[in-house]
Chains A and B, each alone.
Chain A
Amino acid sequence: MKKSLALILTLSLLTLVAAGCGSGSGSDDVIKIGFLGALTGEVASYGIYTLKGMELAVEEINEAGGVLGKELVIVEADNRGDKGEIANVTQKFITKDKVSAIIGDPTTGGTIVAAQIAQPNKTVLLSAGAVGAGVVEIGDYIYRNTLLDSVAAPAVVKYVKENLGWNKVCIVTSKNNDYSVGQTEVFKKALAENGVEVLSEEFIQDKDTNFSGQVTNIKAKNPDGIVFTGYYTEGGLFMAEVHKQGLDLDMVGGDGLLSNVLIELGGQGVEGSMVFAGFSPEQPDENTAQFIEKYKAKHNGEEPDMFVAQGYDAVKILAAAMEKAGSSDPTVFKDALAQTKDFPGVSGTTTFMENREPVKSPISLLHVKDGKFSLLAKIPVEMD
């Protein structure tokens, strides 16, 4: 019995220690930025690459003398993609680490959870991945640097109709993926506006690997093309199945498809498929070429993906806003952040509108050619 009591005491002591230790020293000579994202678990790939991009940007900035003469430091914590942990980590960044800003979460859901905490605590949250609805509405400390579907989809639909003659399509949605469900809504609206007929809607689920049934259904409809709103893993597998069943169809989709994994998994099937993105690794401008070069040098020749680029840009945007405001106090530099205009990032040129939503122009429409992404068209966005 004594043993059990001792156990309880030890554990409660441990709790106190856990709660007490590691609290931020609050030192003034560094500026802390929190990285919010998953480093383990099923959505880890988005988090890991966002962090890699952030690290590169921080290195560059510190080499050039830091921000406001202070060193920039990333505080990282894994959240496994679990909403409870996302909330915990956000609160930890604010309370214990006393960060100036938080970059993340790469997912829309995670960003919404974190924003509900960052806003009342007056900490700037800049998501480098959230594209769904209901994010920046949460308040004036909440921003995102992503290519919004509502900006890109209409332009892309117009392109495939006018240039490729797509008049009837099938839409594939990953039903348990919020990104996909949200993007399908946007695409359906854009398709209707452009007079493209939707022959059928097929549903898949993230983590599915067997798409033979859906593809067989599409085969029977004979569309001009496929609109695919899910992520690259399922996208690649889906198109591989399309190829396997002997169909010669291309798909178009969002930046959730932009990864070399798509090509690895899709093989011949994704040849000719199109992806819109704010970031194009092919035919880059000078700025982007440098970034790709540096990143490859740092990571054994690994190509940066969209999350790397957006994580990189997020840090740079924050640093620029801090410099402009002359302060790393979120209550001060958030106004400078709001005025970000034509920021020349590696993932496109970013402007924050009145409602804090980003507009990134131009949209890069990439297609897979000879087993590599290459630029098909750059579509400028009219700002209103």
Chain B
Amino acid sequence: MDFLFNDYNARIIINIGIYIIMALGLNLITGVTGQLSLGHAAFMSIGAYTSSLLSMKLGLPFGVALLGGSLTAAFFGVLLGFPTLRLTGDYLAMATLGFAEIVRVILTNLEVTGGALGLSPIPYKTTMPLVLISVILIVFAMARIERSRFGRALLAIREDEIAAETMGINTFRYKIVAFALGSFCAGLGGSLYAHFITYINPVDFGFNKSIEILNMVVLGGMGSIPGTILGSVVLTIAPEFLRFVEQYRMLFYGALLVIMMIFRPNGLLGGVNFTDLVLKTFGLKKKKKVNGSSEKEGVK
């Protein structure tokens, strides 16, 4: 069993956990509510920097730093949400991208964040049990949200915002809350990341990081919790798994994204209702046609 439970695998599992948390946050914003965000890494960086400063400069306990980082990220989520969530579609995407670039430039220029030199050494505090517990809590919370009145309202916004508004849903408020929750997750992930890697600088939180997280959500299946989890697992492991192709690794990674999208355009688990799937597998539920709006296999 030693080859399974060694420090290397533990490190990868922690990585996966951190990405699952962040990707689930983005899934709530983009997958469930349908608001394309290209700036998730900004919230990750806000969480990472805040929590690091709290534990390095103020010497606060890790738990407090973690919460502080996540809440600050959520606060900025609301702050960004207020002016921008009136924008629709790709204009929102562009605004979030712009916000992320601005955050990165500010982090590079601020004195307190160490500029390009970044922050180090951040105390090493992120452990496997902590990450696993956080993942379980977030997954549980997300599953609850999905099945709540709030979650259904978010889905309604994604499907048709005007219709949702007509039905009496305060779309603006709901979007803000979704944005805040999603940013909270990004902040939590960022805080865990900072206390895991022990060194952060602004380069780590660029456009590519946002895209990396978005890939996980879309590849797994937009709006699907198990899909997002699967996407995070696959894309975190892919670079490690592809090591055998050596310098052609990123070539394969790029091709993999294209191929997976062509063959599963709605994501690996797009349109799969996980609860139904589990129940059915164990013969607890009769077969019923899944009425996912996105299951479009075979339709050209």
A287 to B247, CA, bound (A): 32
Q: Judging by beta carbons under 8 Å apart, are B277 and A5 in contact? A: yes
From B249, B268, B277, contact of A1 by CB (8 A):
B277
A138 near B: Cβ within 8 Å? Answer: yes
Chain B residues closer than 8 Å to A181, beta-carbon distance: 115-117
Name the B residues within 8 Å of A77 (CB-CB).
Answer: 243
Question: Which of A1, A7, A20, A87 is the one whose CB lies under 8 Å from B3?
Answer: A20
CB of B233 closer than 8 Å to a CB of A: yes
Whether the pair B4, A16 counts as a contact (CB closer than 8 A) is yes
Choose, from B56-64, B162-170, B200-208, the stretch at the interface: B200-208
- Please name all residues of chain A whose beta carbon is closer than 8 Å to the beta carbon of B11 when the two chains form the complex: 87-88, 91
Chain B residues with Cβ under 8 A from A7's Cβ? 268
Question: In the complex, A15 Cα to B233 Cα: how many Å?
Answer: 9
Q: Are A4 and B272 in contact (CB under 8 A)?
A: yes
Which residues of chain B are within 8 angstroms of A182 by Cβ–Cβ distance? 117
User: Is residue B269 within 8 Å, beta carbon to beta carbon, of the partner chain?
Assistant: yes
Docked CA distance A78–B249 (Å): 9
Q: Report the minimal beta-carbon distance from A13 to chain B, rounded to whole angstroms.
A: 12
Return the contact of B12 from the options A11, A88, A132 (Cβ within 8 A). A88
**Chain A positions within 8 Å of B121 at CB level:** 112, 116, 134, 138
User: Does the CB pair A175–B115 fall under 8 Å?
Assistant: yes
Bound: A373/B121 CA distance, A: 38
Q: Are A96 and B243 in contact (CB under 8 A)?
A: no
A109 near B118 with CB under 8 A, answer yes
Interchain CB contact under 8 A, B117 and A116: no
Residue from B120, B243, B268 in contact with A112 in the complex, judged by beta carbons closer than 8 Å: B120
Could you tell me how many residues of chain B have their Cβ less than 8 Å away from some Cβ of chain A?
A: 48
Check if A372 is an interface residue, CB within 8 A of chain B: no
Question: Which residues of chain B have C-beta atoms less than 8 A from A40's C-beta?
Answer: 247, 249-250
- Report the minimal beta-carbon distance from B279 to chain A, rounded to whole angstroms: 11
Contact with A along B87-113 (1 / 0, CB 8 A): 000000000000000000000110000
Nearest CB in chain A: distance from B106 CB, A: 12
**Interface residue? B281 (CB, 8 A):** yes
Does A378 touch B at the CB level, under 8 Å? Answer: no
Who on chain A is nearest to B221 by CB? A4
Residues 225 to 255 of chain B near chain A (Cβ within 8 Å): 230, 233-234, 237, 239-241, 243-244, 246-247, 249-250
CB B117 to nearest CB in A, in angstroms, measures 5
Interchain residue pairs with CB less than 8 A apart (17): A1-B280, A4-B268, A20-B4, A39-B246, A40-B250, A76-B246, A80-B250, A83-B197, A91-B8, A94-B7, A113-B198, A121-B7, A134-B121, A178-B116, A178-B117, A180-B116, A181-B116
Which 8 A-B pairs give the minimum distances between C-beta atoms?
A95-B8, A18-B241, A178-B116, A91-B8, A181-B116, A116-B198, A95-B6, A112-B199
